[in-house]
C-alpha cells in the first residue's frame, strides 16, 4: 500500500499541471487524483489561452503502482476572432519511472481536443526528467494545425522554501520549425522564448499560487500570430486549487 502512494506522489509531481499532489486509494495498486482550480487566466507557453480572462481547470488521473497512469484535464479557452472553441480537453496516457530516490523520468502521450472546433485538435509526445529538483523536458507534435511540427523544450527548478512555500521556475523555447512569427518590419522567425516563476502555499485547505510570466515575442509578432498584441506580454497569474 505504501508503494502505491509513493508512486502516486511521484507521478502527480511529474504530470503537473494536471495534478497537485493528493490521491485517493482505490485498491492495493490503484489510486485516483482529482484536482480543481480557479486561475486569473489560462497561461501556456508564453501566451494567454483565455484573452486574459479567468479560467476554471480540473483533472482526474488514474494511477497504477507500476508507474502507469491515464487521465483527463480540461479548461475553458477563448481565442477570439469568431473561434467556436470554448473548452480544451486533454487526454493523457503515460509512465513514470523512478530511477533513483530523487530522480524520475516521465513519458506521456497527449491528445488535445477542442469541442465545436475540431480543426484545432492535435497530439503531443512529452518527456520530463526531474533530478533533485532540476527539471528538463519537452513536448513534440507533428500534427499541429493538421500538419505543422512544433517542439517546446524547457528547463527549470522546483523546491520548497522556508515556511513551506513552494517555488517553481521554468525557461522554455517554442520552435514551430517554420517562420510564423512576423515582426513589424516584415522579418520572421520560427521560435521564441518564454519563462515563468511561481510561488505557492497551502492555506485553509487549498493551494494559493501567484506567478510572473513573460515571453520575448514583440507586440507585432503576437498580433500576426495570435491576432492580439497583448496576450504574449508580461503578466501575473494568480490561482487557487484543491486536491481531493
> How confident is the model at residue 24, as a pLDDT?
86
Measured over all CA atoms, what is the biggest interatomic distance in the chain, rounded to whole angstroms? 61
Binned at pLDDT 50, 70 and 90, residue 6 comes out as very low
> How confident is the model at residue 5, as a pLDDT?
42
Mean pLDDT of 224-243: 96
Mean pLDDT of the chain: 92
Whether pLDDT at 16 is above 60: no
Mean pLDDT of 140-145: 96
Mean pLDDT of 11-29: 64
State what percent of residues in the chain have pLDDT above 70. Answer: 91
Higher pLDDT, 139 or 24: 139
Whether pLDDT at 15 is above 80: no
Q: Is 118 left (phi over 0), alpha (psi -120 to 50) or beta?
A: alpha
Mean pLDDT of 133-148: 96
Mean pLDDT of 14-39: 78
Whether the bond into 117 is cis, omega within 30 of 0: no
> How confident is the model at residue 21, as a pLDDT?
53
CA distance 138 to 115: 26
- Beta strand 235-243 pairing with 30-39: antiparallel
Residue with cell 522554501: 161
Q: What is the second-level CATH architecture of the domain 2-243?
A: Beta Barrel (2.40)
CA distance 111 to 23: 23
Whether the CB-CB separation of 173 and 183 falls below 8 Å is answered with no
Would you kindly state where each structural domain of the chain is located, as residue ranges?
Answer: 2-243
Binned at pLDDT 50, 70 and 90, residue 22 comes out as low
CB atoms within 10 A of CB 26: 12
pLDDT tens per residue across span 77-91: 999 999 999 999 999
Amino acid at each position: 500500500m505504501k508503494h502505491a502512494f509513493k508512486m502516486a506522489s511521484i507521478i502527480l509531481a511529474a504530470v503537473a499541471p494536471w495534478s497537485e499532489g493528493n490521491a485517493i486509494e482505490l485498491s492495493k495498486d490503484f489510486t485516483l487524483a482529482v484536482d480543481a482550480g480557479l486561475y486569473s487566466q489560462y497561461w501556456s507557453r508564453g501566451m494567454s489561452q483565455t484573452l486574459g480572462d479567468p479560467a476554471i481547470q480540473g483533472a482526474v488521473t488514474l494511477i497504477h503502482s507500476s508507474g502507469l497512469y491515464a487521465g483527463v484535464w480540461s479548461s475553458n479557452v477563448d481565442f477570439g476572432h469568431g473561434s467556436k472553441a470554448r473548452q480544451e480537453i486533454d487526454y493523457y496516457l503515460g509512465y513514470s519511472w523512478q530511477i533513483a530516490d530523487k530522480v524520475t523520468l516521465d513519458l506521456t502521450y497527449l491528445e488535445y481536443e477542442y469541442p465545436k472546433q475540431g480543426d484545432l485538435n492535435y497530439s503531443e509526445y512529452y518527456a520530463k526528467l526531474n533530478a533533485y529538483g532540476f527539471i528538463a523536458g519537452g513536448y513534440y507534435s507533428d500534427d499541429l494545425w493538421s500538419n505543422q511540427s512544433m517542439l517546446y523544450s524547457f528547463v527549470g527548478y522546483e523546491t520548497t522554501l522556508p515556511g513551506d512555500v513552494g517555488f517553481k521556475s521554468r525557461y522554455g523555447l517554442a520552435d514551430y520549425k517554420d517562420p510564423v512569427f512576423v515582426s513589424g518590419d516584415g522579418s520572421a522567425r520560427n521560435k521564441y522564448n518564454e519563462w515563468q516563476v511561481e510561488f505557492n502555499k497551502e492555506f485553509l485547505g487549498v493551494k494559493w499560487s501567484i506567478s510572473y510570466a513573460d515571453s520575448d515575442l514583440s507586440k507585432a509578432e503576437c498580433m500576426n500570430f495570435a491576432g492580439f498584441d497583448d496576450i504574449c506580454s508580461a503578466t501575473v497569474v494568480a490561482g487557487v486549487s484543491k486536491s481531493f
